[in-house]
Each structure stands twice: as C-alpha cells, then as structure tokens.
Amino acid sequence: MRTVELLLDEEADLAVREAWRRLADAGLPSQARHRSPTNSPHLTLAACPELTTPIRWELAEVAAALPLPARFTGVVRFERPVSVLAWALDLDRALAGLHRRVWEAVVSDSAPETLNPFHEPGRWSPHITLGRTRRAGAFPDRRIRELLPAPPPSVRLTTLRSYDTETGTLEVLGPRS
C-alpha cells in the first residue's frame, strides 16, 4: 500500500514532536515510541495499492500548490478500531480542495475496494496523530489537558510524500520544505 501524505513546516513539526515527547514521558501512547526512521509528523490524505503513472501526474499538479497554509483547531480523539489522540486541522476550502484532488487521483486508477473509506471526501478528518493504541480510553481528558502544549495556531503543509508500507521506503512527490 502507498500512502499520500503532507509534511509540516519546521516549527509545526517541532511542536508535534514536543507533544509526542510529553505523552511518552507521561507513560501514555505516543508516536515518539514509533522508532522507524521514516516516522515524522504528517497528514495522511489517502492510500492506494500503487502510485501508477496517471496517479503520479495528478499528484504532481497537486504538489505544485504547496506550501498550503492551514490552521490547527485543537485536540481530537478517534476510537476506530484503535484509540487515536491527534491535533485536528481546519478543513477549510483550500485543504478540502487539495484533499479532493488527491482522492480523485487515487480513485482514478485504483480498485474501489482497495481504498480506505475514511479518506473519502466528506468522511475524512484532517489530523496529525500524537498517539495511538489498541487500548480503548487510553487518553484521559484531565491528563491530556495538563500534558499537551497548545498546538501552534497555524501550520504550512510543505511537502507531498508517499510511504510504501511493504518496503518501508519514503518518496518525496512534491516540493521539499
């Protein structure tokens, strides 16, 4: 499977890594414990079995729109089938439009049953994962409010990349930060 992701500007990247550290230091699930050299704060837009030539053409056009300004809106939790704690991003017109273009690119040359329905426009919730676990209720409200710094008010989404889940390799698809 190949993901399509956006990386954050340096200031936002450092803020997310600080939140990861605080969660880990408190003994809570944290992305800081994910020791892969490819682990970095990112926004997942979609995933597909293969980045075919037609998909790559479309993604190159999407990448030309970077960097894209965005705004954090606060903490969000998901319970499906893992518990996820994240900083949510405002789904404004620009981010929604970029996401739709990525979705249309992967849909154009992928079998529908291979795509994650949570990435579909209208269902997608833009967020930067801070911690995740299979243990339900792992992120108690009071502790989270005490531990986490406020997210930076704004972020620039700077680089389009893809992660290959089979080989563990990264590929930059568009402007480097």
Q: Tell me the per-residue pLDDT of 17-29, one tens digit each, with 9 for 90 and over.
A: 999 999 999 999 9
Q: How far apart are CA 64 and CA 15, in angstroms?
A: 26
Residue 14 domain flag: yes
Q: Say which CATH number the domain at 22 has.
A: 3.90.1140.10
pLDDT of residue 142: 79
Listed residue (49, 45, 4) closest to 161, CA to CA: 4
127 pLDDT band, cuts 50/70/90, is very high
Q: Tell me the whole-structure pTM to 2 decimals.
A: 0.93
Residue 98 domain flag: yes
Residue 62 domain flag: yes
Residue 177 domain flag: no
Give the number of other Cβ atoms within 10 Å of residue 160's Cβ. 26
| 51-76 confidence digits (pLDDT tens) | 999 999 999 999 999 999 999 999 99
Across 119-140, average pLDDT: 92
176 pLDDT band, cuts 50/70/90, is low
Residue 123 domain flag: yes
Across 2-27, average pLDDT: 96
Average pLDDT of the residues of the chain? 93
Torsion of CA 174, 3, 91, 17, to 10 degrees: -80
DSSP secondary structure string for all residues of 56-80: HHHHHHHHTT-SEEEEEEEEEEEEE
Residue 78 domain flag: yes
pLDDT of residue 120: 97
Range of the domain at 41: 2-172
The domain tally of the chain equals 1
| 81-126 confidence digits (pLDDT tens) | 889 999 999 999 999 999 999 999 999 999 999 999 999 999 999 9
Residue 120 domain flag: yes
pLDDT of residue 38: 79
Residue 40 domain flag: yes
